[in-house]
Amino acid sequence: MSQSAGEVYLCVSQKKIVSTMKERPLIFITNDDGIQAKGLKELAEVMRLFGDVVVVAPEMAMSGMSNAISVDKPLRAAKVEEEDGYVAYKCSGTPVDCVKLGFNHLVDRLPDFVISGINHGANSSISVVYSGTMGAAIEGCLHGVPSIGFSLCDYSPDADFSKAKMWVARVFQSVVEQGLPPFVCLNVNIPKGSIEGIQVCRQTAGKWVEELEKRTDPHQREYYWLAGYFKNFEPDKEGTDMHALDNQFVSVVPVNVDMTCQETFEQMKTWKF
Amino acid sequence: MSQSAGEVYLCVSQKKIVSTMKERPLIFITNDDGIQAKGLKELAEVMRLFGDVVVVAPEMAMSGMSNAISVDKPLRAAKVEEEDGYVAYKCSGTPVDCVKLGFNHLVDRLPDFVISGINHGANSSISVVYSGTMGAAIEGCLHGVPSIGFSLCDYSPDADFSKAKMWVARVFQSVVEQGLPPFVCLNVNIPKGSIEGIQVCRQTAGKWVEELEKRTDPHQREYYWLAGYFKNFEPDKEGTDMHALDNQFVSVVPVNVDMTCQETFEQMKTWKF
C-alpha cells in the first residue's frame, strides 16, 4: 500500500515524539463541535499515532461557548468507545466542562497535552474569545498542561481535513520538542485548500459588525439571529493571523491566559482614584 | 436629610463628570446575574447620577458564561422599565448577547461606556476567563467602548453594596478622566466589609482544584456538580488582585483583549515546524 506525503511525515513525526518522551504521552482531546464531528475524529486519528488518547467531548454542538462553565446544572458523562490506547466519552457540558470533568474523574493521571478541535471554521483574530475550541485549550493551559486549539477555515460538516492533519502533526511535534511557557497555549488556524507554509502570528485587531438580524416569527413577535460579518481593522498587515490565512499560511498565535495588560498596568500606577 | 460620605462623594463625582464630558454620557449596563439582581439595580442607581442609562441584562442568571454567544438559537428582548434618562430591557441570551443585541438594535448611538455588574461574587484571578460579567466588559471593549466589570466579593443575593457603590463611582470617574487604551478594559473587584483603599493589580496566577463533585441520582446514575476550591499559586504576593482583596483593597486589573503573548511570539520565531 502506498503512503501519501502526509502519512510518511506522520510516521517520521511519531518516531521523533517517541524518542523525545520517556513514555507514550497521554493526549486529552476535546472540541466544541461535539462528539460526532468529523474534525474531532480526524484529530483523534492523528493523535493516536503519537500517544494514548482520551476524548471527552460535548454530546451536543457547543460553538461560541467560549470558556463557559456549567455553574447551575449537573453534568453527565458516558463512555462511547474504547480500544487499546483510546477511550472516548461524551459529556453533557461545555468544552471547558469536558476538560474539568475529564481531568477530575475520567483520567488516572494529568494528561501531557490538551488538543482541541479540529474546529469546523476559523477561530482567528478576536474569535479566540468566543471560541469553545480555544476555551478548552485555555482550560488545559490553566491546569499547567501544554495545550493547542486547531481550527480549519471551513465550516462545512464534511470539510476535507486531509491537508490539515499533517500540519496538526507538525505543530504538535514542535510543541513536544520546544515546550510552551506556563499560561500560554496556541491558537492554530489552518486555511482551506492549498497550504503555503506556517507563520507565527499575533491576533488580528477587528470586530464583528451588524451582528444580529431582526426577524418576525409566525406570531408577529420579533426575534434576533446572530449573523453579521467581520471587519478587519488592519487588513494586509503582515504578522497578523488573518493575513497569514489570507495568504494560505497556517497561523499560530501564542495566547496568554494572563490577560493583564502590562503596559496599562504601569501607566495606571499614576492614576488618582 | 443628612448625606453619608458616599452620597456626598457621588454628588462631587457627578459634577466632575458633567464638566468633563460635552453631553450627558450614554452608559450601557449589563451583568451576568440577571435583570432581577440587586447588584444590577445598585449599579444602575450609581450610573444614573452620571448619565443616561440603558440596561440590557439577561432574563435568567448567566454566571460562568464567559464570552459565550448564542450561535444556534434566536434571541428575544423586551422592555421592562422606562423613565426619563433610563430604560431597561431583559434579553434571553448571554451577557455578550446582551451587548451585541443592545448595540445593534436597542440604542440609537454607540454608548460612551459599558459597565457590567455589580457581580454577586468575586471575579479575581483566572475567574476573569469564566466570568459573564467580564465577558460583557470585554465585548464592550471589542466595540471600542471604554468598559469596566465590577464585582463584589459576596455571593449573597442580598449582599450589601452600600460601600461598593462609592468605589464604583470613583473608578468610573477615573476612567472618564483618564480614558482607557484601545482593547483594554478593567476588571474591578471590591472586598466585602471595610475597604482600605484601591490598588492597580495584575491577575493572580492560580487554578481551581477538585472541581467536580461526583454524586448519584435517585435512579443510581452518576452526575457531577461544579464545586472545588481555588489554589493561589502566589499567595501573599503584593501587586496581585487576590493580595489586594485579602487586605481589603479594591483591585483594578487592566485586561487586554489582545491575548497574544508577545514574549512567546518573539521566542517562537526561531521554531522550525
Read off the pLDDT of residues A95-153 as tens digits, 9 standing for 90 and up. Answer: 999 999 999 999 999 999 999 999 999 999 999 999 999 999 999 999 999 999 999 99
Cβ A203–B258 below 8 Å, yes or no? yes
Q: What is the mean pLDDT of residues A210-227?
A: 93
Q: Please check the confidence at residue A5 and state whether its pLDDT lies above 50.
A: no
Q: Do A273 and B171 touch (CB under 8 A)?
A: yes
Is residue B217 marked as binding? no
Residue pLDDT, tens place only, B184-201:
999 999 999 999 999 999
Pick from A65, A66, A200: CB nearest B268:
A200
Task: Please state, in angstroms and as integers, the Cα–Cα distance from residue A13 to each residue in A46, A168, B106, following that order.
Answer: 11, 11, 54
pLDDT of B131: 97
> What is the structure's pLDDT at B37?
98
User: Is B76 close to A222, i.e. CB distance below 8 A?
Assistant: yes
> Which residues from chain B sit within 8 angstroms of residue A207, using beta carbons?
142-144
Interface residue of A224, A250, A269 to substitute, partner B, most B CBs within 10 Å: A224
Question: According to the model, what pLDDT value does residue A17 have?
Answer: 52
Query: What are the residue ranges of helices labelled H in chain B?
Result: 5-20, 38-48, 95-101, 132-142, 162-178, 241-246, 262-268
List CB contacts (< 8 A) between A104 and chain B. 210-212, 224
Residue B135's SS3 state is: helix
Q: How high does pLDDT run on average in chain B? A: 92
Once rounded to an integer, what is the mean pLDDT over residues B6-35? Answer: 71
B124-181 confidence digits (pLDDT tens): 999 999 999 999 999 999 999 999 999 999 999 999 999 999 999 999 999 999 999 9
Q: Do B174 and A271 touch (CB under 8 A)?
A: yes
Q: Binning pLDDT at 50, 70 and 90, where does residue B240 land?
A: very high
Centroid of chain to Cα A72: 25
Which residue of A67, A207, A261 is in closest CB contact with B256? A261
Q: Between chains, do B226 and A138 touch, taking CB under 8 Å as contact? A: no
A168: enclosing H helix or E strand = helix A162-178
Residues of A in contact with B174 (CB under 8 A): 271-273
pLDDT band for B1, please (50, 70, 90 cuts): very low
Predicted confidence (pLDDT) at residue B219 exceeds the cutoff of 90 = yes
**A13-62 residue pLDDT tens:** 555 554 556 678 999 999 999 999 999 999 999 999 999 999 999 999 99
User: With pLDDT > 70 as the criterion, what percentage of chain A qualifies?
Assistant: 92
Amino acid present at A195: I
B154 is in an annotated binding site: no
Domains of chain A: 5-204+235-256 (3.40.1210.10)
What is the residue-averaged pLDDT of chain A?
92
* Angle of helix B162-178 versus helix B5-20 axis, rounded to 10: 20
pLDDT at position B118: 98
Candidates B138, B207, B264; nearest CB to A181? B264
Mean pLDDT of B57-75: 95
Confidence of residue A1 (pLDDT cuts 50, 70, 90): very low
Interchain CB distance below 8 Å, A212 and B105? yes
Tell me which residue in B100, B253, B271 faces A178 most closely, judged by beta carbons: B271
Model pLDDT for residues B81-116, shown as the tens digit of each residue: 999 999 999 999 999 999 999 999 999 999 999 999
Is B64's CB within 8 Å of A63's CB?
Answer: no
- Answer yes or no: is pLDDT of B12 > 80: no
pLDDT value of residue A23: 77
* Residue B205 backbone dihedrals phi, psi, to 5 degrees: -80, 135
* Interatomic CA distance for residues A209 and A224, integer angstroms: 14
Please give the distance of CA B253 from its chain centroid, rounded to a whole number.
Answer: 11
CA torsion sign, B167 to B171 to B176 to B182? negative
Q: What is the DSSP pairing of strand A26-30 with strand A52-58?
A: parallel
